[in-house]
Amino acid sequence: MKFYDCETAPSPRRVRMFLAEKGISVETVQVDLGNQEQHSEAFGKINPFHSVPALELDNGVVLNTSVGICHYIEAAHPEPALIGADPMKRGQIMDLDARIEQEGFLAVGEAFRNRAKSFKNNALVGPHQHAQIPELITRGKLRTQQFMHWLDQLLEHNEFIAGSDISIADITAKWIKVEPEEEQVHLNRWFSEINSRPSAKV
Confirm or reject binding of residue 65 to ligand GSH (CB under 6 A): yes
Is the CB of 16 or the CB of 90 nearer to ligand GSH? 16
What's the length of the chain? 202
Binders of ligand GSH among residues 13 to 52 (CB under 6 A) are 33, 38, 51-52
Query: Cβ contacts of residue 48 below 8 Å, gap of 6+?
Result: 127
Confirm or reject binding of residue 9 to ligand GSH (CB under 6 A): yes
Is the CB of 54 or the CB of 155 nearer to ligand GSH? 54
Which run of H or of E encompasses 55?
A: strand 54-56
Q: What span, in angstroms and rounded, lies between the C-alpha atoms of 53 and 69?
A: 8
Confirm or reject binding of residue 114 to ligand GSH (CB under 6 A): no
Q: For 155-194, b where at least 16 C-beta lie within 10 A, e where not — what string?
A: beeeebbbbebbbbbbbbbbbbeeebeeebebbbebbeeb
- Of the residues 10, 30, 37, 81, which one makes contact with ligand GSH according to CB under 6 A: 10
Is residue 140 within 8 A of residue 107, CB to CB? The reply is yes
Beta carbon of residue 145, minimum distance to ligand GSH (angstroms, whole number): 21
- Of the residues 3, 11, 22, 184, which one makes contact with ligand GSH according to CB under 6 A: 11
Where do contacts with ligand GSH occur on this chain (CB under 6 A)? 9-11, 33, 38, 51-53, 65-66, 122, 125
